[in-house]
Structure 1
């Protein structure tokens, strides 16, 4: 089936996993002296993304997606676990969102049931040294699914100017059996027959991003990404296209405050 681009507005229609939501690597520019003195520094904004309608779909949609990136984060009892561009180990909150998916969304979903929207909460941790950064995120779902998902990646960080930064690197996604069963299994009785998806690696791919600090508080971000479904996700009769491309553009505003 030839992939088609169907432009549909609205977050409620978005059924793709929103790994871009929580990735920590889009924050541009250095912290000001005042920002660096605060325990919490977070960039919050919104982006418009073109992504597959759901994982494995061959139709694309455009939808708004929140952007959240922590530069400094304080945990009581542990202290400052993320300190701006400081080299070394860091920890940060991780969030995700998966939109509602209905059997009527595509013929390949005819043997499935409606899956409500799902939120995901968890933590990310990583290590940075100069131009190199590696990270892993683990989240637990609620509402639409109650499984665990994870994403790992390596970044090459290339500052072009004091305000413009390029980031590029590979990504790998994982999910446990509960998540995979929710989104890739098919019950018996339909034309495709039963299919049980097990947990494991879900996709491999990469991300390229340009971030520009328009001011000390406002950032602009352009991102392109590619993920290829593998394993049980690729073998599922729900999957119509293993190749998933994405592109998005957004803006963030930086907030800095103290607590505790």
Structure 2
């Protein structure tokens, strides 16, 4: 499972089912194993911004997920050549026109929760995945993330991952975060032109993560990445006044625990 965060009060730090294979004898028989934690991310103030802010973010990962009658849908202890299906979550923080003079006049965008599903296949040291999510509250469209991770374990407690990323957004997602309506463009003091953002790929980039097992169940994570806004996202007046290059770096700690729900 991954938890992807995108905007203010958000980041793109991902914890995945390929967490470090640390000793966890006391959890080996549990039906459900989770990693929960928190960290701090330094990232753009909003999509397309050239200003950076530090924001807190949650760390969530599923190490094992059991479904009665089917068995383990996710198992981080399974062989490293396996297809997996997992839940995917995202959160976009609130964007306000007062965040920057560059977006003065734009409508405020409320926070948005994203819920969906991810599918991944790992073959030894390489893993490919796709995640599709539906947005709620701040926007009502869909987003999809695609990626490949190249994985290395220099030591038993250290895992390194790096790979390319791409993101797609539906019409409502693109309109919400990159479009400028005629009403917004006409607000006194606005420096933005009217712009209709169409659905399509909006980001290409690369992400790298290092996860180190401090104890059997406590892990320290460091993540950094770069995204290049493309397509209508790059053509948006909001981005033209900001930056097409979006950088982020952050760190956090997660704790692993397990439990049973079904006898």
TM-score (normalizing by structure 1)? 0.89
Offset at 1:31?
5.2
Q: Distance in 2 between matches of 1:244 and 1:227?
A: 5
Structure 2 counterpart of 1:54, from 36, 42, 46: 46
Q: How far does residue 83 in structure 1 lie from its aligned partner after superposition?
A: 1.1
Gaps of 5+ in 1: 1-13
What is the distance in 2 between the residues matched to 1:75 and 1:123? 16
- Looking at structure 2, the residues matched to 178 and 66 of structure 1 have their Cα atoms a distance apart, in angstroms, of 26
| Match status 1:130 vs 2:124 | yes
Say if 1:149 and 1:126 are closer, same or farther in 2 by CA, change over 3 A: same
Of 252, 255, 258 in structure 1, the residue corresponding to residue 257 of structure 2 is 255
Q: What's the CA shift for 1:28? A: 2.1
CA RMSD of aligned residues (A): 1.7
Q: How big is the shift at 1:153? A: 0.7
Mapped to 2, the partners of 1:210 and 1:153 lie a distance apart of: 17
> For residue 233 of structure 2, what is the aligned residue in structure 1?
233
Displacement of 1:74: 2.2
Name the TM-score, length of structure 2 as normaliser.
0.88
Between the aligned partners of 1:32 and 1:17, the Cα distance in structure 2 is 30
Moved more, 181-190 or 50-59: 181-190
1:95-174 equivalences in 2 (<5 Å): 95-174=89-168
State the partner residue of 1:200.
Answer: 200
* Partner residue, 1:65: 57
In structure 2, the gaps of 5 or more residues are: 1-6, 186-190
TM-superposed deviation, 1:23: 4.2
Cα offset, 1:32, TM superposition: 2.2
Distance 1:61-1:110 versus aligned 2 partners, 3 A rule: same
Count of matched residue positions in the alignment of Structure 1 and Structure 2: 246
- How far is 1:121 from its partner? 1.2
Match of 1:92 among 81, 86, 89: 86
- Deviation readout 1:145-175 (Å, 9 max, x if unpaired): 1111111111111001110111111111111
